[in-house]
Every structure is written in C-alpha cells, then in structure tokens.
Amino acid sequence: MLEHPVVPFLVAAAVAGMVPRRIGALVLLAAPVVALLQLLALDEGTTQHLDFFGYELTVLRLDDLSLPFAFIFIAIAALAGLFGFSTFSKGEQVSALLHAGLGIGVVLAGDLLTLFVMWELKAVASTLLIALGRNRSSPGAAYRYLLIHVLGGSLLLGGTLWHLSTGGSLAFDQFDGHASSALILIAFLLSAAMPPLHPWLPDAYPSASIAGSVVLSAFTTKSAVYALLRGFPGTELLIVLGVAMAFYGVIYAVLENDVRRLLSYHIISQVGFMITAVGIGTAAAVNGATAHAVAHILYKGLLLMGVGALVHATGKEKLTDMGGLARPLRWVMVLYMVGALSISGVPLFSGFVSKELVIDAAYGDNMYLVVYLLKIVSVGTFLSTALKLPWFAFGGPDRGIPIRPLPATMFAAMGITAAANVLLGVRPGLLYDLMPNPVDYEPFTASHLSETMQLLVLAGLGFWLLATKLKGEPSITLDTDWIYRRGGPAVVTRAHALAATRPQPMATARQYGARTWLRITDGTLGPAGGLGRRDQAPTPTPALGAIMLVAILLLLSTAVISGAW
Amino acid sequence: MSYRTTWMAVIVAFAVSLATDLALGASRPGLIASIGFFGCVGLILGSKWLGKALLSRPDAYWADTDQPDEKPDTHPAPDEDEVRRPEVTDA
C-alpha cells in the first residue's frame, strides 16, 4: 500500500503542517519527486486492493489511461510548488499537497467508492486553498465553491449507490446508460465546469493566491475529464455540450477585464475541446482528449504563472490598471508568450500537437461542422490570450507602475514549464508515446502548417482592425452564478414578505411546512445564507447544516432502498 | 500600421491563403482563412454586443458588501513578517 503515489503527498502534507514554512516549501518539492519514483517503479497494469467491510476496493489501477494523467499531475505539482516556493503560506502548502495528492488518487482509483472518497476530499482541500487566498473575495468564493462541490459530490454518491443497488458493479469502468449513471454524469460535468454548472470556476480560481491558482487550474477539471473518458466515452451528447462549452469560454474571455478570470474562462473553453473528444469516443479521440489534457495542464500552468508574476509584481489584477509592462517585466512577457502561443496552437508549441489531435479525430469521423466550429474557438483563444491580454498588459507607454521584485524560483518554474511546452511542440513523439492508444498522426504536414498559419495570421489582422474595441472596460460580466448570488436571495426575501402577510395564529401544517422550508432555504439561498451573502465572511453553520442534511438524507435513503447496509 | 495598410494586408493574406490552398489541393480553398478573419471579427463584435446588451455590469457589482473590507491588498505576502516593501523602479 505504501507504494501508492498518493502516500508521499499525504505524508508531506502532515510534515508541512508541522515544520516552518521555508522547510515546508522544500517538502512541497520533495513529495512529487518521491511520487514520480514510485510511479515509475510500478508496472503498467498494476492494481492494489483493499478490503473494506466486505467490498473489495481497487485503490490503485495503473493502466494506459490513468498513467498519462498521473504523470502530468505529479509534474505540475512539482512546478507549482516551485512557483509558490516563496509565496505559499504554510496553510497553502498543506492544502496544495493534499489537493495534488488526492487529484492523483482520483485518476488512480479503480472503483467507485475510492473515486468518491478521493473526489470529495480533493474538493475540501481545494476549498482550503481558495479560502487561504489573500484576496478580499477569497472566503466568500471558497464558501460558494464548497457548497457547489458538496452538491456535486452528493450527486456522485447518490448515483453510485443507485448504480450499485440496481446490480451495477463497483468497478469504475464505462457506465451502461442506466438512469443512475445520469447522476454520475452530471457530477462529472459539474466538476469539468460545463456551463451552466461552471460559475464556481471563474469565481474561485482568481480568488486564490497566485500560486494557488496554478495548483487549482490543473487538477479539478482535468480529473473530471479523466472520469468522463473512463465512464462515458462515445456519449454523443458530449460532442454538442463540448463545442458549446468551448464557445462559451472564449466569448466570456473577450469580455473579461480581470487577467486571472480571463484565463479561467479559457480553461472552460479548452476543457470543451476535451469533452468534445470524449463524446466522439474513438481511439483517436481518446488520444486527443488525453493529449490535450496533458498539454493544457502545462500551458495553462505557464499562463497562470505568467499572470501570477504580473499580479505579484504590480499588485494589480485588471487589464485596465496595467499597460506598458513590457520593459520592466520583459522576461515575464517572453515566458507568458510561450504559454500563449502554446494554447493558441502555434506550430512548434505544445498546443499545436495536442489540439490538432482532437480536431483530426472529429475530421476522421466526418464531423466537419465540429471541425470548423472548433477552428473558430481556436481563433478566439488566440485572440484573448496571445493578443488582447499581452497587448493591454505589456503594450503601450510605461505607466510607471511600481514593480515589486520577483523571486528567482518563480522564473525557474516558468522557465522549466516553458521549456516543457516547447519540447512537446518540437518532439510530439514524447507526448504521443504516453497516449492510451497508438497514435497515427503526423502534425507537421504542409497542409496542417498552412491551415494553422492562415488561421492565425488572418485572426491577427482582424484583431489589429478592431483592437480599440477590445480595450478592457472597468466592468464585470454576469454569469450563471447570478442565479444563486442574487436570484435566490430575491426569491427568499419575497417569500418572507408573502409569509408575513398571512394571519399569524393559524399555525396549520401547511404554514409549518412553509416555515421549515424557509428555514432551510434561508440558510443556503437567502440573503444571509452561504450562496447569496453579500458580505465576504459568511457564518458557515446554517448553510452547511442544510447541505449536510440533504447529503445525509440522500445517503440514508439510497442505502435503505438499495439494502446495502 | 494604419487602417488602410491593414486592409491591404488582409487582402494580400487572403490571396496568399487561396493560392496556398489551391497549390496544396485543399478541399475547400479559402475556408480556413475566412474562418480566421471573420471568426475573429465576429467573436469581437458579437461578444461586445452581448456584453453591452445583457451581461456587463459596473466593476463594483459584487463588491457591495455589508462590511467594507479595510484590509490592504496583500496578495504576494505569505507571512506578515516577510512582507517586503514594493520597490519603485525608475521609469
């Protein structure tokens, strides 16, 4: 059991909690190294079992699908640890180690119960990481994040118990399409940030600290992509949802003024590519989703490190407050641009060799509409990350913004991640050899290169014509979280007003029921509840109590129905 | 690059793209170049319109807190004792 790659992360988290912060930073780097050695020592096809009250759990399953995810998760844990070497607080070190370790636990889980436990604990660890961010919005965002993910976890548990009660197997493999798997699918899509279930992502990720955002960007959505690849490959609905998701992200990114929120919307968009590939479900598409997840973790990590360095150096988060930073932060700009060219799919950078794999899978299945829609999304990605953001952050006259010096470890982390992106772009074989199926694709053909260059050059000219229109505005963009942050409280307040007009002494059963209901919704949706609070320091008890109650009731009722206990 | 030169560049880029497509025997010559240009223009104009018509709100929309936060912005500071004074570079 000790050779499980999760173990070094859990041990390191315990150690980091006890030692001084500076030593904890070293522990944060050591854990991934040990985990990597353990992973390399394990043979592909290894499984480890654990007997749990008569259930045989598969706590470790290392096969050709889980290997690339486990590998890249370990790599980004080390890189993020290096990036946050001098900025992570002690609490963040502990929660980052837990979050990374449990993310690896999710992709290595071979049965549904282990998956659920890892999934939920991972959500708790990421909540801590967000809450420990040093932004004014951190506690509120963390709290909303927790409530949404507890809902997702309840759906996963409910779906799993229902699946088991109808004779389904505990093994985590492709689901059979029974109604119970719909609950599990929704839980996975919620974690993958599928609109309209996505607003937790752009709400929470920019609220963490700068290195916290790098850690967060890697694990939650990509372990959901892994879970979808494992459980729902070839589900055609996912093609439509994936393309819609890819568009949703780029449209919001065009409107966004906050640099980390802009990149958060691009996570949604890029995960859309992966989910489209999951929906196509062929061997080539599974490779595409996996390769794009691996490359995405690397280039998105680099992009968030780049803007993290910007935020660290300037203390500013909005594009409208930046500008003229090309000279004082020259190397940050260069390294950021490596990430930007990678996500845009420019040849010789990592995104080119992975994104084309997804598009080629759609092409191979004659889904031309999907191909061309994803090409438009690629244009949007290039537009926001490689043109708009650097143009308004680095371009223009120097505004004399005070610059705080950046620690060398930040540059080291960005440099290594940038090198990895270029390496995968130049030698795609390194990436393709990791894939679950043999890759039969040559990225560097004349037609691929010509198509990509045409797309990017003409998009660049389009940007040049309209650059003034893209200039950021000091505004925010409403998203579906409005429903629970403003809509819910409005409904509850209105219900109270209605209840108050009723004659008071008539304590009928109906009124009693209404009051109980209001008590629950007050805790979650009301103006003083967790989701809809306007102040930033919510008192957790009522809302958490209500959510826990729902979770426990769901658990008990499914347990009774299924006769599991 | 002035407005006029940019338009010239667009036309040249379209012509080069079309020629390359024809030379390489692409199935739909000019399509990818059109997606690049009109996709970009469409995304900018479409998104901006959507923002104006429906989605944009003033910057302080979510910040209307009951208890205004007095804490200074301490993003990069891990521990209180390690806070470094920002250094102003000569611009």
Give residue A55's pLDDT: 84
pLDDT at B69: 43
- Domain assignments of chain A as residue spans, ordered by start: 233-470, 482-562
Q: Rounded distance, CA A306 to CA A414, Å?
A: 7
Checking if the pLDDT of A562 tops 80, the result is: no
Q: pTM (2 decimals)?
A: 0.89
Number of Cβ atoms within 10 Å of the Cβ of A157? 23
Q: Which two tokens stand for residue A47?
A: 């499984």
Structural contact between residues A68 and A435, judged by C-beta atoms closer than 8 angstroms: yes
Cα–Cα distance measured from residue A82 to residue A185, given in angstroms and rounded to the nearest whole number:
35
A277 neighbors A288 (Cβ within 8 angstroms): yes
Task: For residue B20, give how far its alpha carbon lies from the nearest alpha carbon of chain A (Å).
Answer: 7
Residue A565 has pLDDT above 70, yes or no: no
Q: Is B85 among the domain residues?
A: no
Q: What is the mean pLDDT of residues A423-439?
A: 96
Helix axes of A66-83 and A408-426: crossing angle, nearest 10 degrees: 150
Tokens representing A493?
């307040």
Residues 6+ positions from A491 with CB-CB distance below 8 Å: A525
List, in sequence order, every residue forming a beta bridge with A52; answer none if it has no partner: A55
Each residue of A374-410: pLDDT tens digit? 999 999 999 999 999 999 999 988 888 999 999 999 9
Burial of B30 (0-12, 13-18, 19+ CB in 10 A): middle
Binary contact (A87, B33; C-beta < 8 A): no
| The pLDDT of residue B62 | 82
- B36/A473 CB distance under 8 A: no
pLDDT for residue A48 = 93
- Residue B81 pLDDT grade (very low, low, confident, very high; cuts 50, 70, 90): very low
Distance from CA of A10 to the nearest CA of B (A): 22
The CA–CA distances, whole Å, from A199 to A11, A191, A474, A506 equal 33, 11, 20, 42
Chain A residues touching B3 at Cβ < 8 A: 465
Return d(Cα A219, Cα A125) in angstroms, integer: 11
Query: Cα angle vertex A228, ends A223, A233, to 5°?
Result: 145
Confidence of residue A40 (pLDDT cuts 50, 70, 90): very high
**A328 phi and psi, to 5 degrees?**
-65, -30
DSSP string, A436-498: SS-----S--HHHHHHHHHHHHHHHHHHHHHHHHHS--SEEE--TTHIIIIIHHHHHHHHHHH
Indicate whether A564 pLDDT > 70: no
Question: Taking residues A55-71, what's their average pLDDT?
Answer: 94
3 state DSSP class of A520: helix
Neighbours of A423 (CB within 10 A): 14
Structure tokens at A295: 């490359």
CA distance B74 to B84: 11
Q: Is the pLDDT of residue B70 over 80?
A: no
Nearest chain A residue to B22, by CA: A447
Find chain A residues with C-beta within 8 A of B10's C-beta: 458, 461-462, 465
Of A400, A455, A475, the CB nearest to B56: A475
In the block, tokens 């093994």 appear at: A171
pLDDT, position A53:
81
pLDDT confidence of residue B66 = 39
Q: Which residues, listed in sequence order, are joined to residue A95 by a DSSP beta bridge?
A: none
What's the number of domains chain B is made of?
1
A458 → closest Cβ in B36, B56, B61: B36
**DSSP three-state, residue A48:** strand
pLDDT over 70 (residue A509):
no
CA distance A253 to chain B (A): 9
The chain-wide mean pLDDT, for chain A, equals 90
Q: Tens digit of pLDDT for each residue in A120-173? A: 999 999 999 999 998 888 988 998 999 999 999 999 999 999 999 998 899 999
Is B79 a domain residue? no
> For residue A472, with 0-12 CB atoms within 10 Å meaning exposed, 13-18 middle and 19 or more buried, which class applies?
buried
Contact across the interface for A465 and B79, Cβ inside 8 Å: no
Cβ of A402 within 8 Å of Cβ of B62? The answer is no
What B62-70 contacts at long range (C-beta under 8 Å, 24+ apart), as own/partner pairs, is B62/A137, B62/A476, B62/A485, B63/A136, B64/A534, B65/A534, B65/A535, B65/A536, B66/A534, B66/A535, B67/A535, B67/A536, B67/A537, B69/A136, B69/A536
Indicate the residue of B57, B69, B78 with minimum beta-carbon distance to A478. B57
Query: What is the rounded CA–CA span in Å between residue A531 and residue A544?
Result: 10
DSSP secondary structure code for residue A47 in this structure: E
CA distance linking residue A161 with residue A562, whole number of Å: 7
Q: What is the DSSP letter of A433?
A: T
Encoded tokens for A316: 């500013």
Q: What is the pLDDT of residue A176?
A: 87
Distances in whole angstroms, Cα of residue A539 to Cα of each of A87, A126, A526, A548: 28, 19, 13, 15
* Maximum C-alpha span of chain A: 82
Cβ contact B86–A86 (<8 Å): no
Once rounded to an integer, what is the mean pLDDT over residues A194-206?
95
* Chain A interface includes B87 (CB < 8 A): yes
Average pLDDT rounded to a whole number, residues A459-468: 93
Higher pLDDT, A447 or B83: A447
For B10, the domain range is 3-56
Sign of torsion over alpha carbons A489, A490, A496, A500: positive
Give CA A458 to chain center in angstroms: 31
- From chain B, the residues in CB contact with A537 under 8 A are 67
Could you read off the pLDDT of B30-56 as tens digits, one per residue?
999 999 999 999 999 999 999 999 898
pLDDT at A508: 63
CA distance A446 to chain B (A): 8
Structure tokens at A544: 């958490």
Q: In this complex, which of A379, A473, A476 lies closest to B62 when CB atoms are compared? A: A476
DSSP single-letter state for residue A133: S
Give the span between the Cα atoms of A119 and A142, in whole angstroms.
Answer: 17
Q: Measure the N-to-C terminal CA separation of chain A; round to a whole number of Å.
A: 27
pLDDT-derived band at B3 (thresholds 50, 70, 90) equals: confident
- Least trusted range by pLDDT, from A292-306, A458-472, A547-561: A547-561
Minimal-distance CA residue of chain B relative to A383:
B40
Task: Name the CA dihedral angle for B76, B78, B82, B84, rounded to a multiple of 10 degrees.
Answer: 0
Name the more confident of A469 and A6. Answer: A6
How does pLDDT run across A535-554, given as a tens digit for each residue? 545 455 555 666 666 666 76
Inform me whether the pLDDT recorded for A359 exceeds 50.
yes
When pLDDT is cut at 50, 70 and 90, the band that residue A486 belongs to is confident
- At position A538, the amino acid (one-letter code) is P
Among A70, A62, A177, residue whose Cα is nearest residue A110: A62
For residue A42, is pLDDT > 90? yes
Q: Which of chain A's residues have a Cβ under 8 Å away from the Cβ of B51? A: 255, 475, 477
Task: Spell out which residues of chain B touch residue A96, defining contact as CB-CB under 8 Å.
Answer: none
Contacts of A485 in chain B (CB under 8 A): 62
Burial of A19 (0-12, 13-18, 19+ CB in 10 A): middle
- The alpha-helical segments, DSSP class H, found in A232-258 are 237-255
For residue A556, the model assigns a pLDDT of 67
Tell me if A146 sits within 8 A of A123, measured CB to CB. yes
Asked if pLDDT for residue B2 goes beyond 90, the answer is no
B54 touches chain A (CB under 8 A): yes
Would you call B51 and A328 a contact, using CB atoms and an 8 Å cutoff?
no
pLDDT at A534: 61
B 61-80 residues with CB below 8 A of A?
61-67, 69, 71, 73-79
Inter-chain touch A89–B21, beta carbons under 8 Å = no
- Is the model's pLDDT at A484 over the cut of 50? yes
What's the pLDDT band for A202 if we cut at 50, 70, 90?
very high
B10 interface with A at CB cutoff 8 Å: yes
Q: Is the peptide bond before A347 cis (omega within 30 degrees of 0)?
A: no
Could you give phi then psi for residue A520, rounded to 5 degrees?
-70, -50
- B19: closest CA of chain A, how far (Å): 11
- Structural contact between residues A536 and A140, judged by C-beta atoms closer than 8 angstroms: yes
Report how many Cβ contacts below 8 Å link chain A to chain B.
186
Whether the predicted pLDDT of A219 surpasses 60:
yes
Residues of A in contact with B88 (CB under 8 A): 402-403
